[in-house]
Structure 1
Amino acid sequence: MGFTRYSGPASAFPGKETWKDFETIFNLNKAEMLRTGDSHQDVGRIWNAVVEAAKIGVEERVIFCIIMQESTGNVGVGTTTDPGNKPTGGLMQAEESPAFPGKHNLSQEQISAMVIAGTKHFKANLKQLDNADTATTIYRALRLYNSGSINENNLSDAKGATASYVSDIANRLQGRTN
């Protein structure tokens, strides 16, 4: 099933009642993670890391969908730069995240460190808004996470980042894979 394109304000994106549960989303994406070169152990450790990072105050399914959007769950993903030219790395391509380019069969500690760094960054975006666990706040925080700024009238206004970022994650939250 292909992705539906959403744009406009957060209210134009699908509500949480359309989102699948974490286990369903995770299972739908296992094969894609394994295709990156991840071992079955890496995939299991990603699950553990997401559950651990959720204690920071971000839903497991949101954390995991950011992982899939940023790195396809590839624990050995390389480092890139954000729109501000700062290096971003790890499963969630976050600033100050450890990265292990080209490596697989990582320890739980290494995988958790990547996911916790990205989750802390996303949580800071939530706090910058109203810190509510609502779809509209999450979508707005996703735009901040990807581009560092937000046009409240159009979450596809990427300011040099990925225009479809929020839309793609909305699709992932509904259980779609690309």
Structure 2
Amino acid sequence: MNTHTIQDGDTFHAIAQRLGISLDALQDANPGINPNALRVGQAISLPGSSVYTIQDGDTFWKIAERVGIPVDALQAANPSVNSSVLHVGQVINLPEGSTGSHSGSNGGDGYVQYSGPALNFPDPSQWASYDALWAQNSRLMKFHNSDSEIAQIKSAIETVASESGIDARAILCIIMQECGGNVRVPTTFNGVRNPGIMQSHNGVEFSPANPAASILQMVKDGTEGTADGPGLKQLYQRYGNYYSTFRAYNSGSINENDLNDPVGATPGYVRDTANRLTGHTWGGM
């Protein structure tokens, strides 16, 4: 079994997403480790991986799309491989569970490989109920947050949904897509500063000194926008459907004929969010 050395900002959720493995598999590989008390320099065990042989025309992006994992997970599983110089016959690692498609369950149904324009994605009438989605996703939030913080996230989602007119289910699933519900998620920088539970456009971060207020503001920033950029509300007003909204939220611009076109961001973002909304689960979600 391989190991990973904890770095500043690491969480079990972030590691699992980066490697394309499930939280359960990572936890099972580390039965004596408290995921809420990780220390920099600590070594944890990683579940095993499978391999893939490079074929003519392959790129990391094409391979990741084919097997249904994030490009970041594929890169993390191959730290010594130069993805710009792949050779036919070269063997690379695939994160555990990369079997060609995600698998999951929602009344027996698996992960659906939605593609194309917004009309090809499930109508909101097909989404799971808010109560069902909350029950499913609040369990994942326990990897990172206290019970009181989880309750504050729920209150913030419901308050902001009422204020903004954005479906509470969409807000919840974008939170999970962005950070797994981790209120302490690190701020990212990809041309702009993206902090907080919704990785908003230059909004606020979590404040341990004022958790309820900062959680509420993080949800407001992602949903209602900030002085520096739009949120889900403004993007929904612009595009008129949730799936184009999600792609624009992730990428800043969209190819409306192919919402899996990453436009420089995350290829499976809209597809994953659609599966979250319909209640599907999969390894590394």
Assess same fold via TM > 0.5: yes
What letter corresponds to residue 99 of structure 1 in structure 2?
A: E
* Aligned equivalent of 1:61, options 169, 173, 176: 169
What letter corresponds to residue 148 of structure 1 in structure 2?
A: G
For the aligned residues, what is the CA RMSD?
1.6
* Aligned equivalent of 2:122, options 14, 19, 39: 14
1:82-110 alpha-carbon deviations (Å, 9 max, x no partner):
4xx0010111001132113xx76962111
Give the Å deviation of 1:3.
2.9
The total of aligned residue pairs comes to 167
Q: Which structure's residues are more often strand, by fraction?
A: 2
In 2, are the aligned partners of 1:42 and 1:106 still within 8 Å (CA)?
no
Between the aligned residues of both structures, percent identity stands at 39
For residue 214 of structure 2, give the secondary structure of its aligned residue in structure 1.
helix
Q: Distance in 2 between matches of 1:175 and 1:106?
A: 32
Q: How does 1:94-105 map to 2 (within 5 A)?
A: 94-100=200-206
* Aligned equivalent of 2:154, options 44, 47, 55: 47
Q: Which structure's residues are more often helix, by fraction?
A: 1
Q: How does 1:23-172 map to 2 (within 5 A)?
A: 23-36=131-144, 38-54=145-161, 55-82=163-190, 85-100=191-206, 107-120=211-224, 121-130=231-240, 137-172=241-276
Gapped regions of structure 1 (runs ≥ 5): 131-136
For residue 279 of structure 2, give the secondary structure of its aligned residue in structure 1.
coil
Give the Å deviation of 1:15.
1.7
Q: Distance in 2 between matches of 1:4 and 1:104?
A: 38
Question: Structure 1: which 4+ aligned runs deviate by more than 6 Å?
Answer: none
Gapped regions of structure 2 (runs ≥ 5): 1-103, 105-109, 225-230
Q: Which one has more relative contact order, counting CA pairs under 8 Å at least 6 apart?
A: 1
Alignment TM-score, normalising by the size of structure 1:
0.88
